[in-house]
Amino acid sequence: MPKQGKGYRKASGSYDSLKYHELEEGLAVVKSLHYVKFDESVDIAVRLGVDPRHADQMVRGAVSLPHGIGKTVRVLVFAKGDKVAEARDAGADFVGGMDLVEKIQGGWMEFDKVMATPDMMGAVGRIGRVLGPRGLMPNPKTGTVTFDVGPTVTELKAGRIQFRVEKAGIIHVPVGRMSFDVDRLHANVSALLDTLVRLKPASAKGSYVKSITLSGTMTPGVRIDTASALKTARA
């Protein structure tokens, strides 16, 4: 097992890892644990009371965070006809069809988000085994298979994130950077939690949001009081 670094050990000893914090307080604690020189990501892990093995309890979707995620997002669009110009005008980094499919089949992966128009999904399906495991496959449920190319590219560039519950019932996504102030991080977390609550499967029984943990890329986790966080999100 890798030995934890000095910075991590110091951060771990500077707060009560067993305490449940109000959301705003918890975000302040996460920021206080920052010890590396780069602007690390702030991530959230939400454990849901669902069983992803059942199709009717699969939670997946997308949300446009009010303040983005603080990084440049490279968007690739599969389109043809007048949708090519629409994508480029909206700021897409890469636009094409079979040329991009072949390029990806050759190992090229220099992009962060992928969307496609419905009439291009036949071609995109050829690289499903490449995009799927990386969470990049366009999907109507996340709004990335659509003819509304311009608005979708704009949202993806601005920080729209996609999420899908993992096998253990956890959703793990970035909600900003350490350089964000607490208010911006708070707004982003609240937007995500509000979306998750609205996507609660009808078949999910008992407690839906079981736990919330915040952390930096290199920091230990900070526990968040679930009830208060959800109340804040709904407000």
In a domain, 92, yes or no: yes
Q: How confident is the model at residue 57 (pLDDT cuts 50, 70, 90)?
A: very high
Q: What are the b/e assignments for 30-51, b being 16+ CB within 10 Å?
A: bbebbbeeeebbbbbbbbbbbe
Q: Is the pLDDT of residue 1 over 60?
A: no
**Residues 103 and 177 grouped into a single domain:** no
pLDDT 10s digits, 19-29:
999 999 999 99
The domain in which residue 125 lies consists of: 75-158
Which residues have a Cβ under 8 Å from the Cβ of 107 and sit 6 or more positions away? none
**Residues 92 and 142 grouped into a single domain:** yes
Could you give the number of structural domains in the chain?
2
CA of residue 206 relative to chain centroid, distance = 25
In a domain, 126, yes or no: yes
pLDDT at 195: 94
**Segment among 10-14, 113-117, 145-149, 195-199 with least mean pLDDT:** 10-14
Q: How confident is the model at residue 235 (pLDDT cuts 50, 70, 90)?
A: low
Average pLDDT over residues 57-68: 91
Domain boundary among 131, 158, 185: 158
**Residues 124 and 60 grouped into a single domain:** no
pLDDT at 13: 87
Average pLDDT over residues 167-196: 95
Assign residue 211 the CATH number of its domain: 3.30.190.20
pLDDT at 3: 65
Beta bridge partners of 48: 209
Domain boundary among 158, 179, 212: 158
pLDDT 10s digits, 196-221:
999 999 998 889 999 999 999 999 99
Greater confidence (224 vs 159) lies with: 224
In a domain, 98, yes or no: yes
CA–CA separation, 212 vs 135, rounded Å?
22
Q: How many Cβ atoms sit within 10 Å of the Cβ of residue 118?
A: 11
CA–CA separation, 28 vs 182, rounded Å?
6
**Residues 34 and 98 grouped into a single domain:** no
pLDDT at 181: 96
Q: What is the mean pLDDT of the chain?
A: 93
**Residues 229 and 165 grouped into a single domain:** yes
**Segment among 4-13, 46-55, 201-210 with least mean pLDDT:** 4-13
Contact 166, 172 (CB under 8 A): yes
pLDDT at 96: 96
pLDDT at 234: 67
pLDDT at 83: 97
Torsion of CA 148, 154, 157, 161, to 10 degrees: -60
Domain boundary among 158, 177, 201: 158
**Residues 51 and 103 grouped into a single domain:** no
pLDDT 10s digits, 133-164:
988 999 998 899 999 999 999 989 988 888 99
pLDDT at 2: 55
**Residues 64 and 174 grouped into a single domain:** yes
In a domain, 1, yes or no: no
In a domain, 101, yes or no: yes
**Residues 167 and 200 grouped into a single domain:** yes
**Residues 85 and 196 grouped into a single domain:** no
Q: In this structure, what token pair is assigned to residue 128?
A: 């499903």
Rounded to whole angstroms, what are the CA distances from 99 to 96, 104, 171, 188, 194?
Answer: 6, 9, 34, 36, 39
pTM of the model: 0.79
**Residues 46 and 87 grouped into a single domain:** no
Average pLDDT over residues 74-102: 97
